[in-house]
Amino acid sequence: MDKRVKFDFEIYFTNGGSLKGEDFRIDISDETISDKELADCIVNDFQLLMVGETKILNKEIITEYHKRKPKNKNEGANMIIDLSHTIEHGLVTYKGLPAPIICDYLSREQSKQFYAKGTEFQIGKIEMVSNTGTYIDCPFHRFEEGKDLSEVELACFVDLDAIVIRIPYSKTLEITVDYLKGYEIRNRAVLIHTGWDKYWNTELYYENHPFLTECAANYLKDCCVKLVGIDSHNIDSTLEKSRPVHTVLLGAEILIVEHLCNLNLLPEDGFSFSAVPPKFKGVGTFPVRAMAKLRNNIL
């Protein structure tokens, strides 16, 4: 049976005046909906401007046939999908590199001596190498004179037109040029979905992982891609000491994101990709909150 929500609302405008409604009803697709989501529905449906404080009162979920297409929680907004692994204390991202230490610098209990009663704070302390979690590589990571995180333009990290190329690890671990042909990739972020992230935080993750060949890297460079990401342990083969893919891509100022996840949730096209690191000087790699923003909720 369909679900609807019945409620009263009060909306106040920043330039004065208010709008109030009683026993208002909206079709919903889920069993619950938050007050903010309800307020957003009203604001969007009525195309209201200069909205300030909103109040939802007497909210009640009822069973009643829908009168129109149900209001989806994500309707009217771009859906965002998280493509980053969670970083936690003791996590090993790259075998041989130390795990992060995440602890209190100032605990809530300790903070009581500095703040009024009921005003506790926590200040965290993090010690880690820059190759931790899902991270981005910029030219300085490979080249002494290359751009570091502070020198790469912000536009290179944000809202890049993107594409997913699916190359399952069960099909091949060595990703050659042939797997990359036939796609519209120029001036785009190219995300390689292998499915290897299923082994994240296990011993299997570090060995015999999917990787790109040097020829594949040169093909991506010649096609003028902006960024290359992969859901694997390394974009290069780690069986050898050389790193030709890093050398080719970073040498061309093409950014690299490694240890992605959830690429299976993305369509092949119709989304933008963002992976923004802090603005550090003298650092070439750092964790990011990688994400995809789907246009028009394409799935």
Each residue's pLDDT tens digit, 33-77: 999 999 998 999 899 999 999 999 999 998 877 766 555 555 545
Sign of CA dihedral 123, 127, 128, 129: positive
What is residue 31's predicted lDDT score, i.e. its pLDDT? 78
What is residue 296's predicted lDDT score, i.e. its pLDDT? 65
Residue 15 tokens, joined: 């330039």
- 């093909």: which residue's tokens? 219
Each residue's pLDDT tens digit, 265-289: 999 999 999 999 999 999 999 999 9
On average, the pLDDT of the chain sits at 93
Strand partners, 203: none
d(CA 241, CA 17): 68
CA 88, chain centre distance (Å): 17
d(CA 118, CA 172): 57
- Does residue 81 have a pLDDT over 80? yes
Lowest mean pLDDT across 3-17, 67-81, 252-266, 274-288: 67-81
Rg, Å, the chain Cα set: 24
Each residue's pLDDT tens digit, 102-149: 999 999 999 999 999 999 999 999 999 999 999 999 999 999 999 999
Summarize the confidence of residues 244-259 as an average pLDDT: 98
Residue 98 tokens, joined: 């130390």
Each residue's pLDDT tens digit, 183-239: 999 999 999 999 999 999 999 999 999 999 999 999 999 999 999 999 999 999 999
Q: Is 218 helix (H, G, I), strand (E, B) or coil?
A: helix
- 């936690």: which residue's tokens? 88
Q: Which residues contact 296 (CB under 8 A, 6 or more apart)?
A: 78, 270
| CA–CA–CA angle 163, 290, 212 (5° rounding) | 55
Record the pTM. 0.84
